[in-house]
Amino acid sequence: MRLNKRTCTGCGYCVLICPYDALKTDGWAEVIPENCTDCNLCVYACPNDCFIPDTPLKPYRPRPANDYEVSIIGSGIGGLMAGVALAQAGYRVAVFEKLSFPGGRYTEISYKDAVVTTGAWTNLGPKSHIGRFLAEVGIDLEYVSLNDVGLAEQYTIQFPDGRRYDSLFDMLASPARKAWLKAILTGKRQLEQATSTSLDMISAADYIAEFSDDDDLRAAVDAIAATASGLSSQVMPAGEYIQITLDGRTAGQDFAMPVGGVRSIIKALVTALRQAGGALFVRSPVAEICVEDNQATGIRLADGRQIHSRFVLHNGGPRAFIQLVGSQNLPVDYVRRLVQLKGVECAALFGATREPLFTQAPITMTPQCQRVVGVFSPTLLDPTLSKAGLHLFDAFFPTYSDDRSAELDLALADMRALFPHFEATLEWSVPMFFTGMWPGTESGQTFGQTGQNRLDPVTPVENCFLVGMDVKGSGVAGDLIPVGVRQLLQHFAPKQ
Ligand SMILES: Cc1cc2nc3c(=O)[nH]c(=O)nc-3n(C[C@H](O)[C@H](O)[C@H](O)COP(=O)(O)OP(=O)(O)OC[C@H]3O[C@@H](n4cnc5c(N)ncnc54)[C@H](O)[C@@H]3O)c2cc1C
Ligand code: SF4
Ligand code: SF4
């Protein structure tokens, strides 16, 4: 197996999927030729088509029908949620997924007897947007909550200088605590009164500074904003930070993750899709959205087959949308808007340790580090996610340069400063970068791109819609996706 390093964006999926330990990564994947059996599994796990097989690929030709009422490009959580709702409403739906697994950046891959996320840590539990959407489509998911495991807080706070606090309140002296509460309550009232415009114009950092000059508070707000969105509090509008804080407080002690990891959500959605008569085809990249007279008429798969469809939903991100529709079929202003969206590049170091790194809460916020802003331990909620005796961690960090191995070194230095036993107790780790053509998100939660300013599901091409993370909503990353899905569904009347 050969690998085109130039197109590698560092996601690490190939390392996770390879059954023979024949791949490694320091931000750029590399084949270890002596281990490679030419099984070709990595070919179908790579979002960027980096692999050049030495042996012919096994013929694989799923058999979709020639037409569906709704074709959905991509089986991310957004594509699947829309697919389930529309199939249940009586539409003939098919979802086409390029990779060998459904779920995009919201699922897990089994690796070394553990469950490793492709991006998302978790939703906030049954009270989250995702939790409520799943309940509405009849999915009864089993969660493990803070209450279930006897923990009191969603997150603790730890500084690289060794200071550790059980909660944000525990860290703050009384005046700063009052100031923070006042900031949140004032912001909440403004959001409720729909006078949020001013909160869209001021950064979370500047907004908090109006209430308090406590350096630790500002550093903690920065880490929380970055953990939720990959963006610093300097570029996140205050309204978005307040919404994220309110969502976290709504989840409260019910903060939870699905038993079995976030892939339990994806498995449940795929089952619900099929039960409602919908179809999912993996390893089925879509090469074109067919358009006639400004109206979507279907899709063309990469192998040339055409699928007629009355409606086409695109879940593959704004840039790929331009490619698939063709800029000639889109108004110049719309293309410009999509091209100008500011995305988020970020990374995670996922791994397993023999001793837990922390035990007080599932998340440790890590202000004032060089890179790492928050670390999640999924096994604190569901120990079955790894084999006995190992504890999983997922350290999230924004990236600030194109030198991924240098960014990784800084994150590793943070981990050593935060957890002095880190090196000694580390069993394995995989760095996962979300950059280039496979970024954290293509329109981050920054000025001009939050809430109602995000993309509308309706596109200029008739009967062609966007669904997924870049579409309308406010709040924690993936958890805002159902907000956009709900808006999309308003354009589809239930069938008799
Ligand atoms: C490191 C990281 C941590 C995160 N943590 C959290 C978290 O804790 N909580 C949270 O709520 N969110 C989190 N998120 C965000 C969350 O992962 C995303 O918002 C969410 O997964 C996006 O879902 P989506 O439906 O937009 O589709 P994606 O996950 O982007 O999936 C799109 C799918 O479309 C497919 N596709 C693309 N083009 C084509 C084509 N031409 N043909 C066929 N298929 C195609 C892709 O292969 C992919 O499967 C995190 C993200 C990252 C990167
Ligand atoms: S072809 Fe198979 S063994 Fe070789 S690197 Fe890819 S997944 Fe690993
Ligand atoms: S983009 Fe991801 S899957 Fe593809 S080669 Fe690079 S690390 Fe592997």
With respect to residue 459, please indicate whether it lies within any of the assigned structural domains. Answer: yes
Tell whether 278 and 213 lie within a shared domain: no
Tell whether 200 and 282 lie within a shared domain: no
Domain CATH number, residue 91: 3.50.50.60
Residue 473 lies in domain? 65-144+255-343+441-496
With respect to residue 358, please indicate whether it lies within any of the assigned structural domains. Answer: no
Tell whether 188 and 308 lie within a shared domain: no
CA distances from 237 to 182, 183, 243, 244 (A): 17, 14, 10, 11
**CA 228 to centroid of ligand 1, rounded, Å:** 15
Task: Give me the pLDDT at residue 155, please.
Answer: 96
With respect to residue 368, please indicate whether it lies within any of the assigned structural domains. Answer: no
**CB of 428 sitting under 6 A from ligand 2:** no
For 70-80, what is the mean pLDDT?
98
Domain end, chosen from 206, 234, 254, is at: 254
How does pLDDT run across 161-177, given as a tens digit for each residue?
A: 999 999 999 999 999 99
pLDDT tier for residue 10 given thresholds of 50, 70 and 90? very high
User: Residue 230: nearest ligand to its CA?
Assistant: 1
Task: Give me the pLDDT at residue 33, please.
Answer: 97
**CA 491 to centroid of ligand 1, rounded, Å:** 23
Both tokens of residue 400? 């600030």
Tell whether 325 and 447 lie within a shared domain: yes
Mutation to probe ligand 2, out of 2, 24, 36, 110 (largest number of atoms < 8 A from CB): 36
Tell whether 205 and 240 lie within a shared domain: yes
For 213-228, what is the mean pLDDT?
96
Tell whether 138 and 167 lie within a shared domain: no
How does pLDDT run across 19-28, given as a tens digit for each residue?
A: 999 999 999 9
With respect to residue 419, please indicate whether it lies within any of the assigned structural domains. Answer: no
Domain CATH number, residue 38: 3.30.70.20
Task: Give me the pLDDT at residue 195, please.
Answer: 62
Reply yes or no on whether the pLDDT at 452 is more than 90: no
Task: Give me the pLDDT at residue 307, please.
Answer: 98
User: Residue 18: nearest ligand to its CA?
Assistant: 2
Residue nearest to atom 3 of ligand 3 (CA): 46
Amino acid at residue number 482:
P
Domain CATH number, residue 221: 1.10.405
Reply yes or no on whether the pLDDT at 147 is more than 80: yes
Taking the C-alpha atoms of residue 183 and residue 168, their distance in angstroms, rounded to an integer, is 14
**CA 478 to centroid of ligand 3, rounded, Å:** 22
* Contact between residue 77 and residue 101 where contact means Cβ atoms under 8 Å apart: no
**CA 108 to centroid of ligand 2, rounded, Å:** 19
**CB of 20 sitting under 6 A from ligand 2:** yes
User: Residue 9: nearest ligand to its CA?
Assistant: 3
Domain count, the chain: 3
Tell whether 84 and 125 lie within a shared domain: yes
How does pLDDT run across 295-340, given as a tens digit for each residue?
A: 999 999 999 999 999 999 999 999 999 999 999 999 999 999 999 9
With respect to residue 452, please indicate whether it lies within any of the assigned structural domains. Answer: yes
Tell whether 248 and 261 lie within a shared domain: no
Task: Give me the pLDDT at residue 296, please.
Answer: 98
Contacts of 185 (CB under 8 A, 6+ apart): none
**CB of 480 sitting under 6 A from ligand 2:** no
With respect to residue 373, please indicate whether it lies within any of the assigned structural domains. Answer: no
For 77-89, what is the mean pLDDT?
98
Percentage of the chain lying above the pLDDT 70 cut: 99
Tell whether 131 and 280 lie within a shared domain: yes
Residue nearest to atom 8 of ligand 2 (CA): 18
Contacts of 358 (CB under 8 A, 6+ apart): 156, 158, 364, 375, 377, 419
Work out the angle between the directed axes of helices 215-229 and 238-251 (0-180°, nearest 10): 80
User: Residue 128: nearest ligand to its CA?
Assistant: 1
Reply yes or no on whether the pLDDT at 196 is more than 80: no
How does pLDDT run across 453-477, given as a tens digit for each residue?
A: 899 999 999 999 999 998 887 888 8
How does pLDDT run across 326-385, given as a tens digit for each residue?
A: 999 999 999 999 999 999 999 999 999 999 999 999 999 999 999 999 999 999 999 999
Tell whether 197 and 222 lie within a shared domain: yes
**CB of 315 sitting under 6 A from ligand 1:** yes
Return the ligand 3 atom nearest residue 13 CA: 3
Tell whether 77 and 101 lie within a shared domain: yes
For 261-283, what is the mean pLDDT?
98
Tell whether 160 and 286 lie within a shared domain: no
Taking the C-alpha atoms of residue 301 and residue 119, their distance in angstroms, rounded to an integer, is 26
Task: Give me the pLDDT at residue 476, please.
Answer: 85
* Contact between residue 461 and residue 325 where contact means Cβ atoms under 8 Å apart: yes
Reply yes or no on whether the pLDDT at 197 is more than 80: no
With respect to residue 424, please indicate whether it lies within any of the assigned structural domains. Answer: no
For 407-423, what is the mean pLDDT?
98
With respect to residue 435, please indicate whether it lies within any of the assigned structural domains. Answer: no
Mutation to probe ligand 2, out of 4, 16, 40 (largest number of atoms < 8 A from CB): 40
CA distances from 492 to 86, 90, 245, 445, 468 (A): 8, 10, 33, 28, 17
Domain end, chosen from 233, 254, 275, is at: 254
How does pLDDT run across 27-41, given as a tens digit for each residue?
A: 999 999 999 999 999
Domain end, chosen from 200, 228, 254, is at: 254
**CA 216 to centroid of ligand 1, rounded, Å:** 32
User: Residue 373: nearest ligand to its CA?
Assistant: 1
* Contact between residue 42 and residue 55 where contact means Cβ atoms under 8 Å apart: no
